[in-house]
Amino acid sequence: MRRGGGAAAPVILALALAVLAGAAPPAAAYFDRIEIGARGLALAGAYQAAAQDVSAAYWNPAGLSLMERPQVLFTYSRPYMVGGLVGSSAVGGIPLRFTDGAAAVTWHRMGLDGVVSENLIGLSYGRWIYRDDNRVIHAGGTIDAAIVSYDSGANYNEVTGDPGRDFGSQTKVTGDLGVLWQERSRLRLGAVLRHLGSPEFHFVGEGGGTPMPSGLELSAAYQWRPESQIMFSRSDVGDHAAYNYAGEIWFYDVFAVRAGIYDTEFSGGIGIKGRSWEVDTAFLTHKALGNTYRASLHFILPGKRGTP
C-alpha cells in the first residue's frame, strides 16, 4: 500500500481546491436539473461529500473509489410536474481490478415531448491519491458529451402552415473534476467543479449563446452515529451562492428517512434496501415552478475489487 508523509496531505488538498476555485466560471440555463439518483435530491443536493456508490459519478467522481462491488442505478424524474417534461438516467460502475479506483458510464436525458431534449453521456473515474493512518484523499473526473436537440416541428405554425426553423442538434464536450478528503473521524470534505469550459449552445441568431451551468461546489458530511449522517454544501453558480443542509437516519439498516433545505426550498424522501438492492424516492419543492418528484432503483452486483 502506498503512503505519504503527514505534511503532504494538507498541501495536496489546498492545491486542488485552489485550482478548482480559480477556474469556476459563470452559469446559465442548459442542464440545470441533471442529477443521478433520488437519494441526492432528498438530501437537498448536499451529497457531494457523502456519495460513495455509483451515483458518485455525478455528485463527485472522486467518491467512485469507495465502491467495492459493481453497481447499476436507474432513475425516473418528473421535474416541477410540468406536462411532458421527464428526466431519466442510467449509470453503471465497476471497481477496476488491480487498480486503486473505479470507473462508471452514465447517461441522462431530460426531455419535453415534441419540443426539446438534453442528453448527457459521461465517462467517470475516481481513485485514492494519498492515505495515512488518519485520512484518505480521493480524486476523480468525468468527461461528458452534452447534446441539445430541438424537434424540427416544434415551432410549426398550424394557421399559416409555416414549418418554422429547424434548430437541429448540437453537441459539446465538457467535464467535471472532484476531490474528496476522508477523515478517520467520519468527516468528509468534498469539492467539485462542474462543466469545465462552460460550453455554449447557439441555436438562434448570431449573438451570444446559452452556456451550460458551471460552478464550484464545496461540501461536508459527518456521520455522527453509525445510522445517522448530516450534510452541508455551498454552490457558487454565477452570481448566486446556494447553501444546502440535509440529514439522513437509517432504521435497522433497512429503512431511511431523509430531509433537507435546498437553498430556500425543502426536500425529503425515503429509502428501503435489502442485501443487494435499494429503492429511493424523493421530492423537492419550488415556490414558482412546483414540486419535483424522483425515484431510483439501485442494484449491487456480484464481484469485488481485485487485489494486486
Query: Is 2 domain-assigned?
Result: no
**CB of 216 closer than 8 Å to CB of 24:** yes
Query: Is 1 domain-assigned?
Result: no
Please name the residue ranges forming H helices in 52-95: 56-59
Tens-place pLDDT, residues 206-241: 555 688 878 899 999 999 888 999 999 998 865 678
**CB of 258 closer than 8 Å to CB of 266:** no
Q: What is the pLDDT of residue 50?
A: 95
Cell of 33: 436539473
Query: Is 306 domain-assigned?
Result: no
Q: What is the pLDDT of residue 205?
A: 56
Query: Is 3 domain-assigned?
Result: no
Query: Is 305 domain-assigned?
Result: no
Q: Determine the structural domain holding residue 98 and report its residue range.
A: 8-300
Predicted TM-score (pTM) of the model is 0.84
Tens-place pLDDT, residues 271-301: 999 999 999 999 999 888 889 999 999 999 9
Q: What is d(CA 298, CA 71) in angstroms, rounded to the nearest whole number?
A: 7
Tens-place pLDDT, residues 232-250: 999 886 567 889 999 999 9
Q: How many domains does the chain have?
A: 1
Q: What is the pLDDT of residue 301?
A: 94
Q: What is the pLDDT of residue 304?
A: 67
196 CB contacts (<8 Å, ≥6 apart)?
A: 23, 174, 175, 176, 177, 214
Query: Is 66 domain-assigned?
Result: yes
Query: What is the Rg, in whole angstroms, of the alpha carbon atoms belonging to the chain?
Result: 20
| Secondary structure (3-state) at 22 | helix
Query: Is 47 domain-assigned?
Result: yes
Quick one: pLDDT band at residue 201, thresholds 50, 70, 90?
Answer: confident
Tens-place pLDDT, residues 141-169: 999 999 998 875 555 555 555 555 556 78
CATH of residue 65's domain is: 2.40.160.60
Closest CA to 77 of 109, 113, 44, 119: 109
DSSP letter at 21? H
- End-to-end, the C-alpha distance of the chain in Å comes to 10
Q: What is the pLDDT of residue 155?
A: 52
Of residues 195 and 34, more confidence is placed in: 195
**CB of 222 closer than 8 Å to CB of 233:** no
Tens-place pLDDT, residues 97-153: 878 899 999 999 998 887 888 999 999 999 999 999 899 999 999 999 999 988 755
* Residue appearing with cell numbers 464536450: 173
**CB of 217 closer than 8 Å to CB of 235:** yes
Q: What is the pLDDT of residue 153?
A: 56
Query: Is 76 domain-assigned?
Result: yes
- Express as a percent the part of the chain with pLDDT over 70: 80
